[in-house]
Chain A
């Protein structure tokens, strides 16, 4: 979600809430005989408000899972998740008087800081990366289909290379992997031999390696100059094939880029979601125990 002008009201409301909370906290902290603490009336109020913010933020997952529930727009929930989630950190700090306390409360504070920090990080990524992805990956596909698309690219490339330089036979290696034999099934002209050799040694491994670095075709400029050089060795009839093979390489590079960007865009959720669930769970334990003691 982009943080744009539609967030202005949320920003303003959050600043007002933060301002009011700060205005309440400062005199309370300065004049409270026992200092700010979570068990005082004001401390408890901060705790309840902070918990409410965290619970609301956690309910976003439920709202997403149940889109048929007409409980406000998903965008509104998302904005609430961002801003109220962010606000929960200072409110909880006010609740505890900026002290981490004992083992359970220290763990809770650390979890909250990590969750909010990861959330802010994720929000920044979600703000900038989609546009980046649109520019860098015009051939974007559904992420879960990347492997499937890659298989199709390999099949397309095999077909094109086979049509230009003879069929490629694939035999099983002693180790169980699949390697393509360089032995042509039929005699080839000298130029197409170069194409076949290039395809088997560089391009097919490139298409199958799914992200290995430092390959000749990983870099667009180097790949283009390689294909240009190849075209000088090939007859004119084969140039169209090399152009199509080059396009397949470009698509593979875009898929790699898409996977990388997707990992950045969604990888932070591996930390954010589990830790936030743990935070909510331990928060419930803390609420019960703190009220008891």
Chain B
């Protein structure tokens, strides 16, 4: 080959010794690209700077809630003290949103942005990560008083989240109304007009349900006009949680749910029953009814004794003529004996104090909301049968608590795909909205939105 035949000297003579002084296209291209590409990059940034558009520096797409502010960076980013102080501060958030403190005994208050991360695209800002909560609740410390809350909650799974307080071992139903769910849900239950099959929603419906109640009183009488519910009203703290007034079931009402089958008749002389009210009101009613009756039926003041000897009862005189007050007192006594010892007692806990004429009826104490520190919305669970979560058909004891425990919820709400949301925010609210304050926003939309 030519190369092998050439000497080193000949080879050296082939090379132009000043070659490095002449630019080569390769190196020229490399030089000019190395100059132009960074300048292009700089020009790109400068263009945004000249047009006053800071969106190039955005950390990512805005959430849908704040998307309208995409071009208005200074709505949240304004200098507090110097050039490097334009982070989105709590002050910016609180200009539009109130964020009440979580708990008076918390040891620190996290910044808004530590839980509600913006610039993460189409995410719900309220959908905070579990880490936002477990930074305290995984090893709960409080300032001041001891807490009755669990101290080591890591996530919503058995073992990492305590059993719901309402159904923990030793918990009993605080309600005093005697009810056997199994009996009420059995087939061919005796109804007002023959056998019936009751369903859960014959008694339990959301607060704003407008469907007719199957077992309500046929016609509200005057006696019911003054009926008061003794069930506790939902508190102010519940109001924000009842998003659509269908989150929780309406309190049980005698008139709507019980009256058709459980009449309050007190005497065969009267078709109407006593009002569903306090013993004092009932007593007054019964006395009045009998007084009105005897005034129009004076013949009954003459009583003929029964023909048979009732066991262990003093035999009355063969014929008695009573005065109206005597007659009323006897009838009232009999009626109230029936009511206190049987009719009312069938459902209510009555307390007979020594020396008192009338018993006291224990407050029904049916909780309107069993989980006061968690939110639940029946509306979002309406796809499921009631009995999937509430073991009513097999409940025979009043003391049974039919609120499901954590294992029931875990069937759907667990980590992983093909499961319902199980992060803390799904059931728990950080901000104590009972302490919410009104906030007046100051954003103007000029230049941000389409003008019509």
Interface residues of A (CB under 8 A from B): 30-35, 37-39, 99-105, 138-139, 141-145, 148-149, 152, 156, 244, 247-248, 250-251, 254, 266, 269-270, 273-275, 277-278, 281-282, 285, 289-293
Q: Which A residues touch B114, using CB under 8 A?
A: 33-34
The A/B interface has a contact count, at CB < 8 Å, of: 131
In the complex, the answer to whether B57 meets A250 with C-beta atoms within 8 Å is: no
Q: Which A residues touch B113, using CB under 8 A?
A: 34
In angstroms, Cα B39 to Cα A274, docked, is 10
B390 on the A face (CB < 8 A): no
Known: A102-B55, A104-B57, A293-B87. A33 touches B132 (CB 8 A): yes
B30 on the A face (CB < 8 A): yes
In angstroms, Cα B20 to Cα A127, docked, is 26
Residue A33 contacts which of B20, B34, B129 (CB distance < 8 angstroms)? B129
In the complex, the answer to whether A34 meets B115 with C-beta atoms within 8 Å is: yes
In the complex, the answer to whether B37 meets A277 with C-beta atoms within 8 Å is: yes
B56 on the A face (CB < 8 A): yes
In angstroms, Cα B81 to Cα A184, docked, is 90
In the complex, the answer to whether B2 meets A251 with C-beta atoms within 8 Å is: yes
Known: A102-B57, A148-B16, A293-B77. A275 touches B37 (CB 8 A): yes
10 further contact pairs, Cβ within 8 A, besides A102-B60, A290-B57: A33-B114, A33-B132, A102-B57, A102-B58, A102-B59, A103-B56, A139-B1, A277-B34, A282-B41, A285-B45
Q: Which A residues touch B19, using CB under 8 A?
A: 142, 144-145, 148
Q: How far is the CB of A89 from chain B (nearest CB, A)?
A: 19
Q: List 15 A-B contacts (CB under 8 A).
A: A34-B129, A34-B132, A101-B60, A104-B57, A138-B1, A139-B2, A148-B14, A148-B15, A148-B16, A149-B15, A250-B1, A254-B3, A273-B33, A278-B38, A293-B57
B26-69 interface code vs A (CB 8 A; 1 in, 0 out): 10011001101110111001000000000111111100000000
In angstroms, Cα B309 to Cα A1, docked, is 123
In angstroms, Cα B31 to Cα A269, docked, is 11
B149 on the A face (CB < 8 A): no
Query: When A and B form their complex, which 8 residue pairs have the shortest distance between CB atoms, in order from nearest?
Result: A102-B58, A274-B37, A139-B3, A247-B2, A33-B132, A278-B41, A274-B33, A33-B131
B interface, over-half SS: helix
Q: Which A residues touch B5, using CB under 8 A?
A: 247
In angstroms, Cα B87 to Cα A37, docked, is 14
In this complex, what residue of B is CB-closest to A96? B59
Known: A32-B131, A101-B60, A141-B15. A247 touches B30 (CB 8 A): no
In angstroms, Cα B58 to Cα A254, docked, is 54
Q: Which B residues touch A35, using CB under 8 A?
A: 117, 120, 129, 131
Q: Which B residues touch A270, using CB under 8 A?
A: 29-30, 33
In angstroms, Cα B44 to Cα A282, docked, is 10
In this complex, what residue of B is CB-closest to A275? B37
In angstroms, Cα B132 to Cα A281, docked, is 36
In the complex, the answer to whether B38 meets A274 with C-beta atoms within 8 Å is: yes
In angstroms, Cα B55 to Cα A156, docked, is 65
B269 on the A face (CB < 8 A): no
Q: How far is the CB of A67 from chain B (nearest CB, A)?
A: 15
B182-193 interface code vs A (CB 8 A; 1 in, 0 out): 000000000000
In the complex, the answer to whether A33 meets B115 with C-beta atoms within 8 Å is: yes
A interface, over-half SS: helix
B24 on the A face (CB < 8 A): yes
In the complex, the answer to whether A33 meets B110 with C-beta atoms within 8 Å is: yes
Q: How far is the CB of B119 from chain A (nearest CB, A)?
A: 7
Q: How far is the CB of A224 from chain B (nearest CB, A)?
A: 12
In angstroms, Cα B120 to Cα A99, docked, is 9
In this complex, what residue of B is CB-closest to A100? B60
In the complex, the answer to whether B1 meets A247 with C-beta atoms within 8 Å is: yes
B118-138 interface code vs A (CB 8 A; 1 in, 0 out): 011000000011011011000
In angstroms, Cα B131 to Cα A277, docked, is 39
In angstroms, Cα B345 to Cα A14, docked, is 81
In this complex, what residue of B is CB-closest to A61? B34
In angstroms, Cα B4 to Cα A250, docked, is 12
Q: Which B residues touch A274, using CB under 8 A?
A: 33-34, 36-38
B245-279 contacts to A, CB under 8 A, are none
In this complex, what residue of B is CB-closest to A31? B131
Q: Which of B22, B59, B113 has the most CB of A within 10 A?
A: B59
B50-102 contacts to A, CB under 8 A, are 55-61, 73, 77, 83-88
In the complex, the answer to whether A293 meets B86 with C-beta atoms within 8 Å is: yes
Q: Which A residues touch B16, using CB under 8 A?
A: 145, 148
Q: How far is the CB of A10 from chain B (nearest CB, A)?
A: 26
Q: Which of A38, A101, A143 has the most CB of B within 10 A?
A: A101
Q: Which A residues touch B20, using CB under 8 A?
A: 144
In the complex, the answer to whether B38 meets A248 with C-beta atoms within 8 Å is: no
In angstroms, Cα B271 to Cα A63, docked, is 109
Q: How far is the CB of A145 from chain B (nearest CB, A)?
A: 5
In angstroms, Cα B19 to Cα A148, docked, is 9
In angstroms, Cα B38 to Cα A105, docked, is 16
Q: Which B residues touch A100, using CB under 8 A?
A: 60
In angstroms, Cα B16 to Cα A149, docked, is 9
Q: Which B residues touch A101, using CB under 8 A?
A: 58-60, 119
In the complex, the answer to whether A250 meets B132 with C-beta atoms within 8 Å is: no
In angstroms, Cα B117 to Cα A37, docked, is 10
In the complex, the answer to whether A33 meets B38 with C-beta atoms within 8 Å is: no
Residue B131 contacts which of A30, A99, A293 (CB distance < 8 angstroms)? A30
In angstroms, Cα B119 to Cα A148, docked, is 59
Residue A292 contacts which of B56, B86, B110 (CB distance < 8 angstroms)? B86
Q: Which B residues touch A152, using CB under 8 A?
A: 14
In this complex, what residue of A is CB-closest to B23? A144
Q: How far is the CB of A109 from chain B (nearest CB, A)?
A: 12
Q: Which B residues touch A251, using CB under 8 A?
A: 1-3
In the complex, the answer to whether B15 meets A142 with C-beta atoms within 8 Å is: yes
In the complex, the answer to whether B2 meets A250 with C-beta atoms within 8 Å is: yes
Residue B41 contacts which of A269, A281, A291 (CB distance < 8 angstroms)? A281
Q: Which A residues touch B83, using CB under 8 A?
A: 292
Known: A34-B115, A270-B30. A103 touches B58 (CB 8 A): yes
